[in-house]
Amino acid sequence: MYLHGRRPRIARTALVLLVAGALLAAGCTPRASSHTSLRLGIAYGDRLVWMSDRDLAASLDDAVAVGARWVRADLSWQDVQADGPDRYRWGLFDRVVTAAEARGLTVLPVLAYTPAWARAGRCADSKCGPADPEAFAAFAGAAAARYTRRGIGTWEIWNEPNIPAFWHPAPDATAYATLLRATSRALRRVDPSAKVVLGGLSAAGTEGAVSAPDFLAAVLAHGGKGLFDAVGYHPYTYSRLASARVPPGTEWDGINRAHPSLHGVLAAHAMPDTPVWITEFGAPTNGPGHVTEQRQALIAADVVRTAVDTPHVGALIWYTDRDPGTDTSTVENFFGLRRADGRAKPAFDALRRAVTALRHRARGATAGSVVADEQPLIHTYSGDRGQGRRR
């Protein structure tokens, strides 16, 4: 669903089954993370709103089956207000919220993407930053007014704004900070307890991208402090595991081990307790630079344990549930836990087992459970993420 702005890399691995099985077989309990909860979920991009009722139900049933409690889905301004500032098409997203409610799932909406009437100058794509941030904020406020009463209280503002693929014509931290300020205020006017996630930053390595720590630092330098409750991050590491420790480091190290790191930037701005939410993570099983299905499963299992053991991580979202296509010219079609024909890949069961093992561990803990059972997050990744997704 997203283009990824990372540097080219070999497909990566993560198999929940192997990690969980090894831990259980050995009777080992990994050290507790410094954070008190890990939300687990699955990410779907802009696909859920366009699904038939049957496919929507099947997709969300998969989230439940692997142990997710959250789903990350685009609440696209382009989808809702395509026809102008005075017309709304909420029905598309209403279906998603209703289906999620029926399964006890919490929705994390990604507010993003500009309709034609709200774009600046000659910018001709929905990934253009809004010409008027207040118009976007008005949309966000209307969304909060509609969905807060239905249990939605956390909002992610844009997707991968630090790469050209998702902020046209080029990343602009000052413009994003302005958008974040207007949108956060609009959400909190409706719901003073609303939580805001700074739009999932790409672990970018492509031309024209701004690194995640540099982009975060620039947003904070332009008045971003106090506008968000968590930083979204997309540290695709394939073909390596999230737990890999190799020079000069991996995208995962950008959380708190690299120099600079996201946590380091936050600490420098007196925000050391602000968590990092992994709102996308996954690995493609076909296309250029893909990993094998077995490696994808290893990657999935490994990242669950690694997220728990990484200080400052508050959420893990796997991308995605099902491959959207079969065209092998792009990896974007192959991040799913299921193939396009619906057959489960090994990663599906690997992820499910890893989450189950994690919950068993949490139930055995006496204080500071490592899993937020009410709202675990496991997003599914359906595209090549390090650079951003295609929508």
Is the pLDDT assigned to residue 33 strictly greater than 50? Answer: no
The arithmetic mean of pLDDT across residues 18-44, rounded, is 54
The arithmetic mean of pLDDT across residues 272-295, rounded, is 98
The arithmetic mean of pLDDT across residues 344-357, rounded, is 97
Q: 234-273: per-residue pLDDT in tens?
A: 999 999 999 999 999 999 999 999 999 999 999 999 999 9
Q: 92-115: per-residue pLDDT in tens?
A: 999 999 999 999 999 999 999 999
Burial class (CB in 10 A: 0-12, 13-18, 19+), 153: middle
Write down the pLDDT at residue 18.
34
**Which domain range does residue 350 map to?**
2-389
Write down the pLDDT at residue 28.
35
Is the pLDDT assigned to residue 147 strictly greater than 60? Answer: yes
The arithmetic mean of pLDDT across residues 118-146, rounded, is 95
Is the pLDDT assigned to residue 373 strictly greater than 80? Answer: no
Distance CA(174)–CA(224), nearest Å, equals: 9
Which of the two residues, 2 and 199, has the higher pLDDT score? 199
- Of the spans 175-189, 351-365, 371-385, which averages the highest pLDDT? 175-189
The arithmetic mean of pLDDT across residues 324-336, rounded, is 98
Task: Assess contact for 298 and 346: CB atoms under 8 A.
Answer: no
Write down the pLDDT at residue 365.
60
The arithmetic mean of pLDDT across residues 174-193, rounded, is 98
Write down the pLDDT at residue 361.
80
The share of the chain scoring above pLDDT 70, in percent, equals 84
Is the pLDDT assigned to residue 54 strictly greater than 70? Answer: yes
Lowest-pLDDT range of 36-45, 60-69, 329-338: 36-45
Is the pLDDT assigned to residue 204 strictly greater than 80? Answer: no
pTM: 0.87
Which of the two residues, 15 and 314, has the higher pLDDT score? 314
81: CATH: 3.20.20.80
Number of domains the chain contains = 1
Lowest-pLDDT range of 122-126, 273-277, 302-306, 344-348: 122-126
Task: Assess contact for 383 and 390: CB atoms under 8 A.
Answer: yes
pLDDT classification of 364: cutoffs 50, 70, 90: confident
